[in-house]
Structure 1
Amino acid sequence: MRKSLNFIKSTIVSVTATTLLLVLVSCNSSKKEKEATFDKVAAMQAIEKENKIFTDAFNKGDTINAVNGYAADAKFMPPNQKAASGRKDIQSTLAGFIKAGAGGLSIKPVEVWGDENMLTVEEEWSMTDKDGKEVDRGKALELWKMEDGKWKLFRDIFNSDLPCMAPPPSK
């Protein structure tokens, strides 16, 4: 009887251990399969395409088409001012940059991380005036999310590489 009880206990332990091992292996292989199917090169190419659409529109002063690259719940976080939330506020902020004399924006993606739902993109950018003279340059980190089958800007934050302007002289 005792041998029979020990056999049953060892069988239960073996079956439980095997089941746990199979569950762990299947969870891990699913993650590896997901990583293997995501194409970072294609994602970077898609971001470059979206950046070209954005910069072409921005450089023409077309804030409507420029803002179409942002997700419906996007935030645009330029330096030294409050974040703009949503396309309408972002469009207004972009129009302010254009009215202030921004003439040419160029954006170059440097590196991308993420998966098929959300990407983080490190970028370098430069801004020229209407005469083509560089007036600013810097770096950016952007979050892009998949929305309606396209990559859309979800969070956009950047800053300048140039030194801060000196304050005006006091009177």
Structure 2
Amino acid sequence: MRYLSLLLLFTLIVACQSNKSGNKTESTFSIDSVRAHIIKMNETYTQRFTTKDSLFFSERYCKDAQVLSPNMPAVISRDSIIKFFQGDGSGTDIKMELPIGNVYGDEDMVVEEGTYNFPDGKGGSYDKGKFIALWKQEDGKWKLFREIWNTDLPVSK
């Protein structure tokens, strides 16, 4: 009986070990790598107001991206986002501070929390506030999937 118990225990251990190795999947996800990518994308964020290059937007926004800007309906799709940021086509040369905030998530979705500031050059701000951006992979690259922000400035009367 003792021999049979040891044999069963040994068989159970071997079976569990082989099942463990079968369930392992190697993940190449690195939040630090995604964070570095987001920092790089944020360094050129304000170019969206002046560029006429649609490749700029296709490298940064998913096809099904949405911009959730205050006081207006959602801007849906990359093409609509291009029109939203380019406005009448005249562009604007604007400075923006966009420090990296919290970045967390997994291989399916990454969340970026941060703040923004449009300095007026006189020690004040045209606008400043906070935002949340959702990033997901499309065509093997991390791109903006959802973007929402709101101002810290009081409502003008």
TM-score of the two chains, using structure 2 as the length reference: 0.73
Instruction: Point out the structure with max Rg over C-alpha.
Output: 1
Q: What's the CA shift for 1:111?
A: 1.1
Q: What's the CA shift for 1:128?
A: 3.9
Alignment correspondent of 2:43 = 52
Deviations 1:14-63 (Å, cap 9, x if unpaired)?
A: 79x86996698569x847x64xx5322221110111122332x135x115
Alignment correspondent of 1:62 = 51
Q: Which moved more, 1:130-139 or 1:157-166?
A: 130-139
Contact 2:137 2:143 in 1 (8 A): yes
Q: What's the CA shift for 1:96?
A: 3.2
Q: Alignment identity in percent?
A: 30
Relative to total residues, which structure has the larger helix share, 1 or 2? 1
Alignment correspondent of 1:152 = 143
For 2:97, what is the secondary structure of its paired residue? strand
Distance in structure 2 (CA, Å) of the matches to 1:159 and 1:20: 55
Q: 1:97 to 1:134 in 2, by over 3 A?
A: farther
Q: Are residues 1:139 and 2:126 paired?
A: no
Deviations 1:142-164 (Å, cap 9, x if unpaired)?
A: 11111122211000011111111
Alignment correspondent of 2:100 = 109
| Divergent runs of 4+, >4 A | 17-27, 97-102, 129-133
Q: What's the CA shift for 1:79?
A: 0.7
Contact 1:113 1:120 in 2 (8 A): yes
Gaps of 5+ in 2: none
Distance in structure 2 (CA, Å) of the matches to 1:130 and 1:96: 23
Equivalent residue in structure 2 for 1:41, among 9, 13, 32: 32
Q: What's the CA shift for 1:98?
A: 8.3
Q: Are residues 1:75 and 2:82 paired?
A: no
Contact 1:75 1:154 in 2 (8 A): yes
| RMSD of aligned alpha carbons | 3.6
Distance in structure 1 (CA, Å) of the matches to 2:155 and 2:90: 21
Distance in structure 1 (CA, Å) of the matches to 2:109 and 2:79: 23
Distance in structure 1 (CA, Å) of the matches to 2:142 and 2:123: 30
Distance in structure 1 (CA, Å) of the matches to 2:78 and 2:151: 23
Contact 2:130 2:149 in 1 (8 A): yes
Q: Are residues 1:122 and 2:113 paired?
A: yes
For 2:154, what is the secondary structure of its paired residue? coil
